[in-house]
């Protein structure tokens, strides 16, 4: 199967499986999305969604969050991993948003990535999901699946993102990257993966994934 045919198969199969996207991180505005994405690093969406409602009830904006202390923020997110670093970054980025952007989340990759604790992946999620700017955030699921589907060499997330943007239509990036994540969780896990039964790997996956 040609690479272009693989791409078309992936797009069609994912649209068949996920015509409507489930909510991945609970949020009400760009600021709460930014905080939720930052908290999701090395944590599960489920865990983040359990912790954030109480936090966002008292602080759903940069101005409100900056009025809390790091200790208070830490209390709200205590069930999430890397609590100390995340609480510090949430407090700092809230102050930075007030000082640099009048408390609003900026709509540029450069400005977002200049905030405390915000890397390229987090910025990409915010740009795509909050502002509708085409982006293709690459997480461990996308990295794994792009390699399994022989659409990228899988050496690093930078290369995988470039390959994804080159192969998939730009107008599909924002929905497609989430579809791939949901597919990875449901059908194509890192361990105990049966390629022969996977709806996509069974058709276009690497041959060495199959048990001989």
3-state SS, residue 82: coil
DSSP state of 22: P
3-state SS, residue 194: coil
DSSP state of 23: P
Place of tokens 């993102």: 161
Q: How many residues are recorded in the chain?
A: 212
What is the distance between the alpha carbons of residues 84 and 78, in angstroms, rounded to a whole number?
9
Element (H, E) at 179: helix 173-186
Q: Are 24 and 137 in contact (CB under 8 A)?
A: no
165 part of the active site: no
3-state SS, residue 150: coil
Identified catalytic residue from 64, 88, 139, 172: 139
45 part of the active site: no
Q: Are 31 and 56 in contact (CB under 8 A)?
A: no
Identified catalytic residue from 6, 74, 86, 121: 121
Catalytic annotation, residues: 121, 139
């Amino acid at each position: 199967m040609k690479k272009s045919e693989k791409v078309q198969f992936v797009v069609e199969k994912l649209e068949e499986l996920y015509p409507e996207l489930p909510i991945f991180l609970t949020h009400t505005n760009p600021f709460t999305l930014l905080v939720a994405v930052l908290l999701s690093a090395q944590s599960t969406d489920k865990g983040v969604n359990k912790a954030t409602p109480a936090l966002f009830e008292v602080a759903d904006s940069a101005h409100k969050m900056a009025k809390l202390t790091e200790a208070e923020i830490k209390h709200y997110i205590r069930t999430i991993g890397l609590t100390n670093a995340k609480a510090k970054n949430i407090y700092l980025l809230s102050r930075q948003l007030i000082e640099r952007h009048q408390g609003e989340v900026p709509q540029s990759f450069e400005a977002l990535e200049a905030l405390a604790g915000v890397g390229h992946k987090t910025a990409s999620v915010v740009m795509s999901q909050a502002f509708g700017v085409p982006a293709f955030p690459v997480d461990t699921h996308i990295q794994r699946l792009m390699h399994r589907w022989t659409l990228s060499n899988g050496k690093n997330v930078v290369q995988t993102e470039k390959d994804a943007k080159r192969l998939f239509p730009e107008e599909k990036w924002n929905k497609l990257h989430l579809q791939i994540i949901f597919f990875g969780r449901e059908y194509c896990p890192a361990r105990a993966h049966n390629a022969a039964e996977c709806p996509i790997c069974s058709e276009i996956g690497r041959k060495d994934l199959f048990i001989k």
